[in-house]
Amino acid sequence: MKALLLIAHGSREGNCAPVINKFIKKAEKYGRFELIDAAYVQFERPAIKDVVDKLASLGADEIWAVPVFLFEGVHVRHDIPEQLREAAFYHPDIRVVLTRPIGYDERIVDIIFDRLDGEKMEVRDGNWIT
């Protein structure tokens, strides 16, 4: 059974789940994976190992991990691969595949220009106003 694991950074505010859950709902519509879940590198739970364990317990034999990151910083180059390697150690029968992060994509530029036309805040007299 194929699983998709979306890996996000996490936030000290603890508010990533509503956004990452929208990614999961959209990904489910593609029908390419029987299981889809998310994990966080830091600040929030569940951690990568916990989700790999969960997917394994649900019958995954293949996990495709996608870092939902724009830049290939220390988390993408070191932390995520290491956390996945450690998690996979306990599940030697599961194929674990790590893709490149989101990175640059022309569609993101379109989103930037959509934001320019959407809801925004502006500083006036030292205060943010909407």
CA dihedral 39, 26, 36, 106 (to 10 degrees): -60
Q: What is the pLDDT of residue 28?
A: 98
Q: What is the pLDDT of residue 14?
A: 84
Give the ranges where the chain is alpha helix by DSSP (H): 17-28, 48-57, 74, 80-89, 106-117
Q: What is the pLDDT of residue 130?
A: 87
Place of tokens 């390697």: 85
Task: Give me the residues of the chain with pLDDT under 70, please.
Answer: none
Domain spans in the chain, listed from the N-terminal domain onward: 2-105
Query: Architecture of 2-105 per CATH?
Result: 3-Layer(aba) Sandwich (3.40)
